[in-house]
Structures are given as C-alpha cells and as structure tokens.
Amino acid sequence: MATTLFVDAVTLSSASWFNDVDSGIYALTAVAGTNTITATGPNSLTAYATGKIAKFIPAATNSGATTLNISSLGAKNVYYNGVSCSGGELKINVPVQVYYDGTQFNILGSVPPSSIIRSMLAGLTLSTAGSSATMSIAAGQCADSTNVALMTLAATSKTTSAWAVGSATGGLDTGAIANSTWYHFFVIQRVDTGVVDALISLSPTAPTMPTNYTLFRRIGSGKTNGSAQWTLFKQDGDYFEWDTPILDVNVNTTGTSAVTRTLTVPTGVNVRAVMNANVTSTAGDGVYLSDLAVADLASSSSTAPGETIAVGGAGRTGAQAIVRTNTSAQIRSRMRAGGAADFLNIITFAWYDTRGRDA
C-alpha cells in the first residue's frame, strides 16, 4: 500500500521513486565507490523515474567512465554535458546533483574538468638544508599532469628512504637513493580517498606510484651529492639557483667544430641553464653557445649567429648566458679560433624549470 504524506495539510501519494513533494530534490546516503558509485535513496524508492533529481557527496574523485547505482536498482551511466564521464567531473566531498532522463544520470551541478586551469601550479616550493636527506615542500596547489584534478598539498617533508604516506616520512618510489644523481619530485593523489602526498623518482614522467595513487605532477628536481644527500639550492618560482656555482667546462685547444657540453642542471627534462661563460685568448677569440635542437652554426664576429662572448685581442671576457638544454643537460659550444692559447670556461649557477606550466 502506498505511503500517505502530508505537506501543508495536502495529502500526497508516494511515487515510484522518491516522493511527489514539489521540492523534489533528495539527498542520497551511504555513498561509496570511485567510478562505480553506490548509494542509498529514500525508503520509498522502488524504481528509477524520469525527471527525478538526487544530490549526494562523492566519496572520491572519479577517474573515468562512471556509473551510479541507487538502492541496488541497477547501475546507470553518469553523463556530463551530454557525454559519458571521462574523469574529474565528480570531486571528492563536493556536493553534486544528478537528473535521471530515463536512460542515464546527468550531472547538473559540479566542478567540471574545464574549470581546472590547465597546467596550474602555485606554491609547492622545494627547499633543503643541503648535505641532508630531507627535502621540504611548501604548501600549494597544482593541476595533475592530465588536468583532471586540482591537488592541494599541505606543507610536507620527505626523506630519501622508501616512500610512506605522510610528512617527515620516506619519499623514494623504488630502489635505494644513489650518489650524485638527479631525482624528480612529484605531488601525487589517490582518487578513492582524496589523499595528497609527495614522491621522489628517477623518472621525470613515469614515477612508480604507491598503491591506489593514480594522479601526479612533477614540481621540481634535486641532485644528490657524493653521500646521497641533497645538494643545496634555492628556489624562487621557476628559478633554481645553486648555493655554490659549478665549473662544468674548463678547456682549451677546442678547434672550431661543435662540441657538446654537459651542465649541472636536471636531466630528463628541458630547462634553461643559466651560466657564466668566459673566453680567454692571446690573439682574440669568441664562442657561440646554443641549443642542440637548433642549427649548428659557426661562431662569427661579423655575421649571424654572432658570438655569445668575444674577446677582441689578448685578454679575458665573461658574460652571463641562458641556453635551453636537451634532456641530457647538454648544450653546444663553437669557438671562432679555438687554439691552444684560447680557453673556454662555463660555470653553471642556476636553471629555469617551468615544471609543465607551459604544457
């Protein structure tokens, strides 16, 4: 027998799904699941009915095609803007409303993926005391590498031990920390619980993720010293500066052909190396420093591409240069004369790393 309801002294008969109360929006309970969502509806719910609206708070951020099953009446696809969900349409702990059109549920109110600013990154500054196994990460936010979710990380520190959840715990994804090696730092998230953490990996693009963590974003890089501890640097946004500059090139008798130079900047990613370069000559010389991705051109004092640094006669000249590296931290140098009395020094002291903000 149908349940009788009284609203403002008016008698209403119960409907097949929810109630025929004019307000017509009902909260679902016992919500669980990530992409296969289950929930409990009103006691009167016996079948889905076209035109009904339900609201609930997702237990997790979805990461792909999604279904909703209310009171075990059958799983129905969840759509957003007329297409099946692909991930990020439902946010953990963000209330959402869905409308049943007779075939599937349609999201009426949520934070869609398009509202996430593409490649957004704010805060999350790296810092270390140097000669230390600990790296600190300031509080901040970033879009994950696929721009599906906005990840918020509280101020955190990680050591070079094996990864464990939480601050002041290990951060390494796999293996043991190595001496004099570049590592990359990530913000990571598991969508089933919404927990956000940090991770350290040799890989700049494919870290070995802890169980249930699926979203990640690289936020910077650090290099270990000969004792497998972090080398001291300072970060200001995209700018990373060594506490002690490093003499990477100190040569003479180079000739005039192109030579590949390896600098002390992150490997596995393209960065813009910042260096002091010096040319010393007894009769005049110059050098052209360039990106290995562009044409190999001879250094010239009168025609393009010109020279990064030149000395007109006997003497020494220095200047600051910024050159994009390849993923092996390399650039190209070409001397105009390159004789036995001509010296080239390159001292690396900083680099610019956009960390995917321009992706």
Evaluate if residue 310 carries a pLDDT over 50.
yes
Residue 186 burial class via C-beta count within 10 angstroms: exposed 0-12, middle 13-18, buried 19 and up:
buried
Listed in sequence order, the DSSP H helices in the chain are none
8 A C-beta contact, residue 16 and residue 43: no
Q: Locate tokens 């059958």: which residue?
A: 74
8 A C-beta contact, residue 250 and residue 342: no
Domain boundaries, the chain: 4-114, 121-231, 238-352
Q: Which residues make Cβ contacts (< 8 Å) with residue 17, sequence separation at least 6?
A: 41, 44, 45, 46, 47, 48, 49, 52, 100
Predicted local distance difference test score (pLDDT) of residue 19:
42
Instruction: Determine the Cα–Cα distance for residues 277 and 331; give it in Å rounded to an integer.
Output: 13
Predicted local distance difference test score (pLDDT) of residue 27:
83
Predicted local distance difference test score (pLDDT) of residue 359:
81
Instruction: Determine the Cα–Cα distance for residues 148 and 114; give it in Å rounded to an integer.
Output: 9
Say whether 350 sits in a helix, a strand or coil: strand
Span 283-290, mean pLDDT?
Answer: 94
Span 106-127, mean pLDDT?
Answer: 80
Radius of gyration of the chain (CA): 29
307: which DSSP letter? -
Lowest mean pLDDT among 15-29, 126-140, 227-241: 15-29
Predicted local distance difference test score (pLDDT) of residue 24:
62
Evaluate if residue 136 carries a pLDDT over 50.
yes
64-74 per-position pLDDT tens digit: 899 999 999 99
Predicted local distance difference test score (pLDDT) of residue 5:
40
Predicted local distance difference test score (pLDDT) of residue 109:
64
Nearest to 249 by CA among 306, 308, 192: 308
pTM over the 0.85 mark: no
242-260 per-position pLDDT tens digit: 999 999 999 999 999 999 9
Report the share of the chain in percent with pLDDT over 90: 75
Say whether 34 sits in a helix, a strand or coil: coil
More confident position, 6 or 311: 311
Please state whether beta strands 36-40 and 29-32 pair in parallel, antiparallel, or not at all (unpaired). antiparallel
8 A C-beta contact, residue 334 and residue 261: no
Q: Locate tokens 């599906």: which residue?
A: 148
34-62 per-position pLDDT tens digit: 999 999 988 878 899 898 999 999 999 88
User: Would you place residue 2 in the very low, low, confident or very high pLDDT band (cuts 50, 70, 90)?
Assistant: very low
- In whole numbers, what is the pLDDT of the chain averaged over residues? 90
8 A C-beta contact, residue 146 and residue 110: no
More confident position, 127 or 150: 127
| H/E element, 78 | strand 75-80
Name residue 5's amino acid.
L
Span 80-96, mean pLDDT?
Answer: 86
Name residue 200's amino acid.
I
User: Would you place residue 9 in the very low, low, confident or very high pLDDT band (cuts 50, 70, 90)?
Assistant: very low
| CATH T-level assignment (fold) for domain 238-352 | Jelly Rolls (2.60.120)
Write the CA distances from 205 to 185, 200, 217, 267, integer angstroms.
10, 12, 9, 12
Predicted local distance difference test score (pLDDT) of residue 15:
39
14-37 per-position pLDDT tens digit: 334 444 343 467 789 999 999 999
Max mean pLDDT range (6-10, 96-100, 225-229) = 225-229
8 A C-beta contact, residue 268 and residue 204: yes
8 A C-beta contact, residue 113 and residue 148: yes
Lowest mean pLDDT among 189-198, 288-297, 302-311: 189-198
- How many Å separate Cα 78 from the centre of its chain? 28
Instruction: Determine the Cα–Cα distance for residues 299 and 321; give it in Å rounded to an integer.
Output: 15
Q: Locate tokens 């420093």: which residue?
A: 289
Query: Quick one: residue 308, left, alpha or beta (phi over 0 = left, psi -120 to 50 = alpha)?
Result: alpha
86: which DSSP letter? -
